Structure formats: structure tokens, C-alpha cells
Amino acid sequence: MSAPVLTAVAWPYANGPRHIGHVSGFGVPSDVFSRYMRMSGHRVLMVSGTDEHGTPILVQAEKEGLTTRQLVDKYNRVIAEDLQGLGLSYDLFTRTTTGNHYKVVQDLFLSLWRNGYVQSKVQMGAISPSTGRTLPDRYIEGTCPICGYDGARGDQCDNCGNQLDPVDLKNPRSRINGEVPRFVETEHLFLDLPSFTESLGSWLSTRTEWRPNVLKFSQNLLDDLRPRAITRDLDWGIPVPLDGWRDAPMKRFYVWFDAVIGYLSASVEWARRTGDADAWKEFWTDPAQAYYFMGKDNIVFHSLIWPSLLLGQNGAGDKGGTPGRFDTLNLPTEVVSSEFLTMSGSKFSTSRGTVIYVGDFLKEFGPDSLRYFISVAGPENQDTDFTWDEFIRRTNFELANEWGNLVNRSVSMAHKNVGAVPAPTAPTAADAELKALAKAAFATVGDNLRRSRFKAAASEAMRVVGAANKYLSDEEPWKRKDDPARRDTILHTALQVVSDANTLLTPFLPHSAQKVHELLGGKGVWAAQPELREVDDLDDPSISYPVLTGDYAGEQAAWGSVDIEVGTPLTKPEPLFAKLDPKLGETGPEWAPVT
Ligand SMILES: [Zn+2]
């Protein structure tokens, strides 16, 4: 039996709709991978959700005139709908404001605390002289000590992107009333990262299959690990379950700390919703494998910080300890990071107007053309510029002309001449060669998908499509009116290879794969799609929220060639992909920013 697979997908931040750069980093790659793993017989648990705490949520809520709760409700739903539209097959896509998440974060914290991996330190925090109350980081602005920008906030500088401490700002002032804050001592909790140096180092030395840049980058950081704050003076977040902290209104876990624990909490929530509260354990203990998907700006959280939390929980950091409430949890098997999808050379940016939102894109073009573009031309190994020209070219020439046309002409000729899958007689060497090529592709495409080499996998699958088109052009079944036996053999061969190519392309193109399955006379669900379901919070039934989930065990798609059945009735096909107006390539649709 194949090992269970945990697909842990980075959590999108709920302060606005997500753009196609986001889903090219965490979304499409993780889904292509998970679909392939399910098709090849693994039990897969794919989890994520919206990341809903932290200062930027509060800032955005103020901007939109909403309460924080209204804001996160709004964008949790927008994001979940977009990801559903893309066909991302989450077993559970939830959120960080659930009762379950609060409980799991607090439990995991307590394990770290008991094992001695959390230290308390007093540092300087701001209070308002006029009210005597704590002034949150985000309400302080001043001059950035690093780049000199004068609008830096207490928590970070939007100009240079560095995380800051308010006490470091030059010329600090309150954003509420302009007064100069008074700095007083405030206590915070820190994850003692240096006490994982040895244990992280020996674990990383076993990660020989990781991409060399990710491994090297992580190993280089080992020598300079410093304690990292896990609490914040903020009133929006998860309370710290310790005496003296629990009821402090301005002491909450730092957003990064709670969000990264989401992989575990979402797995626990999924299990509780299946009715077997322990079902998550199968995906977190040996022999399960855990694959984490993210953009490159998030590597350190997945290669060092999350593993430290797991080691601390397990009682396996440099100071030892005992396993906590979750027993012994697996560390990441693989950290799969993408580079950035850019526009005119720079990162997508809402403020610069260079952004294409997922929702807008799906409304205009549907999901599979975007999934294909990201897989075959996305930022897998290097930053990659999105251009409409390239998107139109891939859609028109590869999806419509190559794949769509192969399906269309094979099915319509068989339909017109026979009305069903024709019977083959006396196959030639050319027939056998094409069929063997398609069959052999399952091993090469599968091996690439298992190693998250999506470009290579998609190109190998499309090579089968190209070979089948060439075969039809060479064999010319449309000229074989006087030799129906040969014509039918050619069409049977073509349909068999269409069926195989469709299986090979299913992880990339699950929506059109379902259509091709039906065009070939198949019934039922070939590639299952996620559903948006309204559920009650498991710990507070007065709250409900949408989750993405699905019944993927019921799908028929399996990794391998299946012989098509002679005599299966065929109907006249509709085109699989609409061709796009090449003129769109100059500017994109009206709503899109000009590149
Ligand atoms: Zn700066």
C-alpha cells in the first residue's frame, strides 16, 4: 500500500482577494501534485485555509469601514470561492478563526512551553501618554531606521519591507493623534530557536532530495538563529493560555505563529468532521509523507520555523523533552517552493495597479487554461513574467489547436463513420508505436509529478498529444473511405491515445478531462471537484462558515492506461477549448492592467 500523503498548502492572507501570482505559488502546483498522488493510489489529505489574524487585517478593516470579523468573513468567502473555481481539490480549506484552530494552537504552545522551548523576555513597548493605554505597533509611525523612509509603521516598513520594532523608529509618533509615544517595558514570549540548532541541522542533513537552493539557504541560516517573538501587543489574535496572560486583552499570539500551526489544526478539523477524531494521525506519522507548497518568500517558515515547533512539540529539540498532546509528528518530507510570477518584471502589486485577480480571470477564461499556463509556463524555477501574449499563445496553440483538435477530430470521425468506438483489425507498426509511446509516458510524467517538476511533466504529456496529431496527419483516416477496416483501426488507435493522454493531463486539466471522459462515452465522475459547504464551527455552533471539501475517493481517474471498449456509443463533440482573440495578447481584457 502506498504511503499516505499530507499536502500542506500555504495559507492565503485574508486581507483582500488573491491574484494569479498567489495561486501560481501555492495553489495550482499543490493541486496538480495531489491529484496525481490520488490517481496513483495514495491516500491524500490536502489542507489549508485563510490566515486571518495580524495587523494588516485590522488596517484593511479600517480602510473598508468594516469590523475585523466582517472583513475576514468577507475575504474568507471570496478566497474560498476563487480556489473552488480553480478546482483546487482541498480535503479541507478552512480558516484560522475557528474554535478548533484556537484550541490546537494553544495545545501546541503548551507542549513547547512545558518542554522549555519558550522564554519570556521584557522589551520596550509603546503606550499613549494621554490615555495610558498600550499603543499597538500599527498605530505608531516614524522614520525607518534601515532605509530612512518616513512613513514606516511600528511593525514594518512598507518601503523596504523589513520587520521593525516600534522602539527602533526614529521620530516615532502616534497615528491616532500625533503624540510621541512613551516606551515602557512589556513582557513577550519568544520561541527559543537557538535551542534547535543541532536537531534542525541533523534533520536537514537527511533532506538530500530537496532542491539544492532550498537546502543550502536553510542550512546557512542555522548559524544565526535568534529567539523569535511569538506574542504581540494586539487585541486581534489567539489568547496565550497561561496565568497572567489568558485574560490580558492586548496579549495575543503573533500571526505567523498561529498561521503555521494551521496545517495541523486543519488536519484535526478535517478528522473531527469525518467522525473519526483521530483520522488525522495517519497523515502525520510514519510512513506518511508531508509535502509543503509555498512561494519562495515563505521557505524559512517551512524549512526551519515550523520544523522547530514540531521538534519542540515532539520533545526532540536540543533540550529534549517529552512528546506533547499530539504525540510525535512528522517533519516535512519536501518543501516545494515556487519563484514569483511577475508583471513587467516586478511582483504583482495592488498599489501599483499591476495585479490580475483570480476571480476576474476565471470569469473570463475558466480554470483549465490558467492551470495549464501556470503548470507549463509558471515560475517553477525562476521568476517569470506573465504576459497576455504568452497566455493566448499557450491557450490557442497548445490547448485548442493541439489537444482540443486531437480530441475533436478523433471523436467526430469515429462518431460520423461508426457512431461508436470502432473495432481494430490488423494493427501496423505505426499503430503499435504510438500506443507504446502513450503507455510509456505514464512512468515519465508520473515520475516528474512525484518530484513536483510540473513543467517537464506537462511537456511530456503534450509530447504524446503531438505524436498523436502527427500520426493522424500521416495516416489520413479521412481518405480511407474504400478501406473502412484500416480507417477504423486508425481511429481506434487515435481514441485509445486520446484516452491515455486525457489521463496524463487530468492533474493539470481536471475540468476538461471530465468532458473528454464523457466524449469517449464514459459515465460518472472522472475527476472530482471541490465543493463549498456551509458548516457550523465544531466548538461554537452559533458560528457558521464556508469550507472547501470534496469526495475525491469516488472519482474514477487512475494513473495508467485503460483499454477503450469497442462499441461504446459516441456523440458529436463540442470544441474543448475556445480560441481566444489574438488581439487580446496586446493588452489583455479591458479590466486587466496594461503590461
Ligand atoms: Zn524601510
Q: What is the largest CA-CA distance in the chain?
A: 97
Over residues 136-148, the pLDDT tens digits come to 787 899 999 999 9
Question: 152 CA to middle of ligand 1, Å?
Answer: 6
Question: 143 CA to middle of ligand 1, Å?
Answer: 8
384 touches 374 (CB < 8 A): no
471 touches 494 (CB < 8 A): yes
Question: 341 CA to middle of ligand 1, Å?
Answer: 24
Of 223-237, 479-493, 504-518, 545-559, give the lowest mean pLDDT range. Answer: 223-237
Sign, CA torsion 18/24/30/34 = positive
Question: 164 CA to middle of ligand 1, Å?
Answer: 9
What value does the mean pLDDT of the chain take? Answer: 94
Question: 57 CA to middle of ligand 1, Å?
Answer: 21
DSSP 289: E
Question: 510 CA to middle of ligand 1, Å?
Answer: 44
Question: Is residue 350 marked as binding?
Answer: yes
Q: Is the pLDDT of residue 303 over 90?
A: yes
Over residues 421-476, the pLDDT tens digits come to 999 999 999 999 999 999 999 999 999 999 999 999 999 999 999 999 999 999 99
C-alpha cell at 364: 473570463
What sections of 479-595 are H helices per DSSP?
484-505, 510-519, 584-587
Determine the Cα–Cα distance for residues 450 and 35; give it in Å rounded to an integer.
11
Over residues 339-371, the pLDDT tens digits come to 999 887 788 877 677 889 999 999 999 999 999
Identify the three-state secondary structure at position 488: helix
Over residues 377-394, the pLDDT tens digits come to 999 989 999 999 999 999
Q: Is the pLDDT of residue 595 over 60?
A: no
pLDDT bucket at 275, cuts 50 / 70 / 90:
very high
Instruction: Determine the Cα angle at 180 with ends 175 and 181, to 5°.
Output: 85
User: What would be the CATH architecture of the domain defined by 118-190?
Assistant: Beta Complex (2.170)
Question: Is residue 322 marked as binding?
Answer: no
The Cβ of residue 270 has, within 10 Å, a number of other Cβ atoms equal to 23
Percent of the chain surpassing pLDDT 70: 99
Determine the Cα–Cα distance for residues 307 and 204; give it in Å rounded to an integer.
10
Determine the Cα–Cα distance for residues 407 and 350; give it in Å rounded to an integer.
40
Question: 206 CA to middle of ligand 1, Å?
Answer: 37
84 touches 291 (CB < 8 A): no
Question: 170 CA to middle of ligand 1, Å?
Answer: 11
Question: 138 CA to middle of ligand 1, Å?
Answer: 15
pLDDT bucket at 165, cuts 50 / 70 / 90:
confident
Buried b (16+ CB within 10 A) or exposed e, 54-87: bbbbbbbbeeeeeebeebbbbbbbbbbbbbbbbb
* pLDDT score of 457: 98
The half-sphere exposure of 366 on its side-chain side, counting CA atoms within 13 A, is: 14
* pLDDT score of 31: 98
* pLDDT score of 235: 87
* pLDDT score of 429: 98
Protein residues with C-beta less than 5 angstroms from the ion ligand 1: 144, 146-147, 149, 157, 159-160
Q: CA dihedral in degrees (463, 468, 470, 473; nearest 10)?
A: -160
Measured in whole angstroms, the distance separating CA 157 from the mean position of its chain's CA atoms is 27
C-alpha distances (whole Å) from 241 to each of 104, 251, 494, 537, 578 are 11, 11, 64, 21, 56
pLDDT bucket at 157, cuts 50 / 70 / 90:
confident
What sections of 278-346 are H helices per DSSP?
299-300, 306-314
Q: How far apart are the first and last CA of the chain?
A: 49
Q: Does the fold of domain 118-190 match that of domain 5-117+197-203+255-337?
A: no
Question: 149 CA to middle of ligand 1, Å?
Answer: 5
571 residue type, one letter: T
* pLDDT score of 594: 62
What residues does each domain of the chain span? Answer: 5-117+197-203+255-337, 118-190, 388-524+565-587
Closest CA to 577 of 495, 484, 513: 513
pLDDT bucket at 511, cuts 50 / 70 / 90:
very high
Closest CA to 203 of 211, 191, 215, 212: 215
Q: How many residues in total does the chain contain? A: 595
Phi, psi of 355, rounded to the nearest 5 degrees: -150, 140
What sections of 305-428 are H helices per DSSP?
306-314, 358-365, 367-377, 388-393, 405-417
* pLDDT score of 56: 81
Question: 163 CA to middle of ligand 1, Å?
Answer: 9
Question: Is residue 147 marked as binding?
Answer: yes
pTM value is 0.93
CATH node for 5-117+197-203+255-337: 3.40.50.620
Tell me what the mean pLDDT of segment 478-497 comes to: 97
Which among 81-95, 128-142, 329-343 has the top mean pLDDT?
Answer: 81-95
Question: 24 CA to middle of ligand 1, Å?
Answer: 28
Question: Is residue 354 marked as binding?
Answer: no
DSSP 122: E
Fold (topology level) of 388-524+565-587: Isoleucyl-tRNA Synthetase; Domain 1 (1.10.730)
* pLDDT score of 234: 84
pLDDT bucket at 161, cuts 50 / 70 / 90:
confident
Identify the three-state secondary structure at position 583: coil
Question: 19 CA to middle of ligand 1, Å?
Answer: 25
Over residues 246-260, the pLDDT tens digits come to 999 889 999 999 999
C-alpha distances (whole Å) from 283 to each of 5, 175, 195, 206, 330 are 6, 47, 27, 20, 9
Question: 147 CA to middle of ligand 1, Å?
Answer: 4
500 touches 463 (CB < 8 A): no
Question: 177 CA to middle of ligand 1, Å?
Answer: 23
Question: 169 CA to middle of ligand 1, Å?
Answer: 10
Of 87-96, 154-163, 179-188, 489-498, give the lowest mean pLDDT range. Answer: 154-163
Question: 15 CA to middle of ligand 1, Å?
Answer: 22
392 touches 372 (CB < 8 A): no
Question: 161 CA to middle of ligand 1, Å?
Answer: 6
pLDDT bucket at 1, cuts 50 / 70 / 90:
low
Question: 214 CA to middle of ligand 1, Å?
Answer: 26
